[in-house]
Amino acid sequence: MVLQVIFLIIAAASIALFTKNIRKIIRNINLGRDIDRSDRPLDRLITMLKVAFGQSKMGKRPIAAILHLFVYLGFVIINLEVLEIILDGLLGTHRIFAAPLGGLYNVLIASFEILAALVLLAVVVFYARRNIINLKRFKGVEMTNWPKTDANIILIVEVFLMSAFLLMNAADYKLQLAGASNYIQAGTFPISSYLLPILPDSQSALIAIERFCWWFHIIGIFAFLNYLPYSKHFHIVLAFPNTYYSNLEPKGELSNMASVSNEVKAMLDPSFVPEPVAEGTRFGAKDVSDLTWKNLMDAYTCTECGRCTSVCPANMTGKLLSPRKIMMDTRDRLVEVGNNIDKHGKDHQDGKSLLDDYISREEIWACTSCNACTDACPVNIDPLAIIVELRRFSVMEEAQAPTSLNNMFSNIENNGAPWKYSPADRANWTKM
């Protein structure tokens, strides 16, 4: 009973802390402007099943896709084994699913072991790609010490968790073969059985190893759960809602600002009834609170994989823009705003903003609006939407734009077209 109470306290504390952090993240996301993404529920569900569950966009890089599939399946399926561990911890049982599942239990345990081995293989390759091969897309000005460390922490933790799982099974299997009490004949161990020769023969030592690995594995999972909200690996949770609320409109179609649309429509049709617009709403975005909640969810969902930046034509030509940095900066600023609310209240102003303090003007104007970044993202994140809003603020609120754009604006105002020629001269080319 003492161990059950200890387990219950650890589990309850872990879930409570995770819930607290999740509530804070939800609060931060809700700081964004409202946007309706409740339309076309069937299309949204299909998108989520294809992109998040089916990993459809990972296939553009086959090697990474296969390795990520191992880790993904391991994460999803081995959770069944975690459920058994939790029930055993709460009820004081051992392999509680063995009796009701019968022969199926052996198949499941064997599958878990094979998956654990594949996860170990994938994680080792991922670690080598980041730290030995040094793939270019894992580099960049935004990939400072913390993003690199964060990625390596997760990979190392996964190695320890999978190793503990296999070692726990190996000790359990050897205790089963020795006829130890409480260790029922259950499970098939195609991977961990190879570890038997390195284990001691003493039952007390085997029980100590099995119990240590059992506690290490489950406490490690609880710790990993509470690390997620501070890590890029929070996409494990947010990838599903983020893909569900994807923008279903054609990628080249930009959203209109209601305040501007109202004025144009009213000019064309005096009987037009304008749509309601929230008071104090800016043209575009200067800070995270001017973006939509979906933009902010995108920022929290970013995996920092660098696929967006690796296909960005502006980045390829040496310009300052990195779509990954746009998402990371947005998330960092949002976390900072959230921390300010926790410390000073919701009306606190720290004198900073997303534009200029985090993202420079040079970055936003380097973007070609080609949508390559959005197309490449494996979880449908849209960096372009944030860039466009920052540009809108710069132009419409501050009248700050590159000279070439200002010239075009002047031509449109004076000539009704982007070119410097008078409307009366437009057809002159036909006389040549």
Average pLDDT over residues 20-49: 95
Q: Is the pLDDT of residue 418 over 90?
A: no
Average pLDDT over residues 415-431: 83
Q: What percent of the chain has pLDDT over 70?
A: 98
DSSP letter string over 287-321?
SGGGSBHHHHHHHHH-----HHHHT-HHHHTT-S-
User: Which residue's entry shows tokens 């029980």?
Assistant: 207
Gap between the Cα atoms of 417 and 182, Å rounded = 83
When pLDDT is cut at 50, 70 and 90, the band that residue 277 belongs to is low
Q: Is the pLDDT of residue 275 over 80?
A: no
Q: What dihedral angle (degrees, nearest 10) is formed by the CA atoms of 217, 53, 97, 1?
A: 40
- By the 8 A CB rule, do 173 and 198 touch? no
Under DSSP, the state recorded for 271 is T
Q: 33 forms bridges with which residues in the sheet?
A: 292
Cβ neighbours, 10 Å, residue 44? 17
Q: Is the pLDDT of residue 341 over 90?
A: yes
pLDDT at 415: 86
Identify which has the larger pLDDT, 78 or 398: 398
Average pLDDT over residues 246-264: 84
Q: Give the Å distances, CA to CA, from 319 to 57, 309, 312.
A: 26, 11, 10
Average pLDDT over residues 325-332: 97
Q: Token pair for residue 305? A: 């994989």
46-84 tens-digit pLDDT: 999 999 999 999 988 998 899 999 888 887 777 778 888
Crossing angle between the packed helical segments 62-91 and 103-131, to the nearest 10 degrees: 130
Which of 91-100, 258-267, 314-323, 376-385 has the weakest average pLDDT?
258-267
Say how many residues make up the chain. 432
Which of 129-138, 199-208, 416-425 has the weakest average pLDDT?
416-425
User: Which residue's entry shows tokens 């603020």?
Assistant: 393
Residues 6+ apart with CB under 8 A from 145: none
Q: Is the pLDDT of residue 252 over 90?
A: no
Q: What are phi and psi of 292, to 5 degrees?
A: -85, 165
Burial 3-38 (b: 16+ CB within 10 A, else e): eeeebeebbeebeeebeebeebbeebbebbbeeebe
When pLDDT is cut at 50, 70 and 90, the band that residue 251 belongs to is confident
When pLDDT is cut at 50, 70 and 90, the band that residue 265 belongs to is confident
When pLDDT is cut at 50, 70 and 90, the band that residue 9 belongs to is very high
pLDDT at 268: 83
Residue type, 299: A
pLDDT at 326: 97
pTM of the model: 0.88
Mean pLDDT over all residues of the chain? 90
When pLDDT is cut at 50, 70 and 90, the band that residue 422 belongs to is confident
Gap between the Cα atoms of 260 and 55, Å rounded = 38
Q: Is the pLDDT of residue 201 over 70?
A: yes
Gap between the Cα atoms of 400 and 378, Å rounded = 34
Q: Is the pLDDT of residue 362 over 80?
A: yes
Q: Is the pLDDT of residue 226 over 80?
A: yes
Question: In whole angstroms, what separates CA 296 from the centre of its chain?
Answer: 11
Cβ neighbours, 10 Å, residue 97? 20
Count helices and strands in the chain by DSSP H and E runs: 18, 0
